[in-house]
Amino acid sequence: MGRAGQSAPAGSEQPRGQPKNRGQFRSRRLPVPPTTKREPAAGSRRARKQAWKQRLRTPLSQQSFSDYPVNAEAAALDQAWRLLCAAAEIRGVSTEVVPVAELDGATGRFLPEQRVVKIAALGNAGAEVATLAHEMGHVHDPWWATVGESHIQAQRLARDLERFPFLRGRSEMVAQQVALEFCRSHGIDAEAWSEVYLLDWSASTWWGRRDIERRATRAWASLRADLATVSRSG
């Protein structure tokens, strides 16, 4: 009904809560031009990280380690390999070089329940030495050092690594820092490789830096003591 009892024209009444001229002044959205990503500068941290991620996506059997960024003389690499193998024997750990296919895409693996370190035959001495140093970081990591001969505890810790990514990230960063310190002390240039590897795992471990530093310091001190023992006996 309109004013003074007059009926309103049909269709003039608006539903309650609905504004008049709905959509009349709706603004048009202008098309947004696609953004072009700039390629990272050669040799920059971003470029190295992209190269490492691309390497991780590629199956190990299809990778070429001829350009692996670990630079050292052949004699230094051979001596470093012998030292690490002898240091592993002190801890009762054997070292094996196995085909790439046996490790399911990994370059190396420490099996605490079997007390063995397996290194993939990469065809590059620098890559194999750096990988063995990384696995020795796992051997001397205080988190794994408590296992000893207990197979049940080793299986439990391995299961925890699979269930909780942050534990795996901490373990990998500890081992890589030990490998980096070993390479530095033996004149092996593995800075670029180690930096990208640490960046790749740092996303899931940003809140555990103190624990990582403490474990890495203890692991490197333990490995360095074993290396000194090998040098004195040899």
| Predicted local distance difference test score (pLDDT) of residue 116 | 93
**In this predicted structure, what is the pLDDT of residue 85?**
95
Instruction: Kindly state whether residue 27 falls inside one of the protein's structural domains.
Output: no
Burial status of residue 29 (CB atoms within 10 A of its CB: 0-12, 13-18, 19 or more): exposed
**Structural domain harbouring 176:** 68-233
> Considering the domain boundaries, does residue 166 fall inside one?
yes
> Encoding tokens for residue 158?
């391995």
Let me know if residue 142 belongs to a domain.
yes
Q: For 100, which DSSP code?
A: G
With CA atoms as reference, report the closest residue to 188 among 117, 118, 131. Answer: 131
In a domain, 89, yes or no: yes
Count of all residues that appear for the chain in the document: 234
The answer to the question of residue 49 being in a domain is: no
Look at residue 54 and tell me if it is in a domain.
no
Q: CA end-to-end span of the chain, whole Å?
A: 109
Q: What is the reported pLDDT for 142?
A: 86
Interatomic CA distance for residues 88 and 116, integer angstroms = 9
Q: What is the pLDDT at residue 230?
A: 93
Please state, in angstroms and rounded to a whole number, the distance separating the CA atoms of residues 219 and 138.
8
Domain membership flag for residue 204: yes
> Beta-strand (E) ranges in 104-199?
108-111, 116-120
Average pLDDT, consecutive stretches of 10 residues, N- to C-terminus, the chain (234 residues): 52 54 54 65 70 61 54 84 94 92 84 88 85 93 66 65 73 89 86 69 67 90 94 82
Tell me the C-alpha to C-alpha distance, in Å, between residue 196 and each of 9, 91, 109, 219: 75, 29, 19, 21
How high is the pLDDT of residue 2? 47
Encoded tokens for 75: 């004699």
Task: Count up the domains in the chain and report the number.
Answer: 1
Does residue 43 lie in a domain region?
A: no
pLDDT at 118: 95
Please state, in angstroms and rounded to a whole number, the distance separating the CA atoms of residues 49 and 67: 15
Structure tokens at 179: 């490998």
pTM here is 0.68
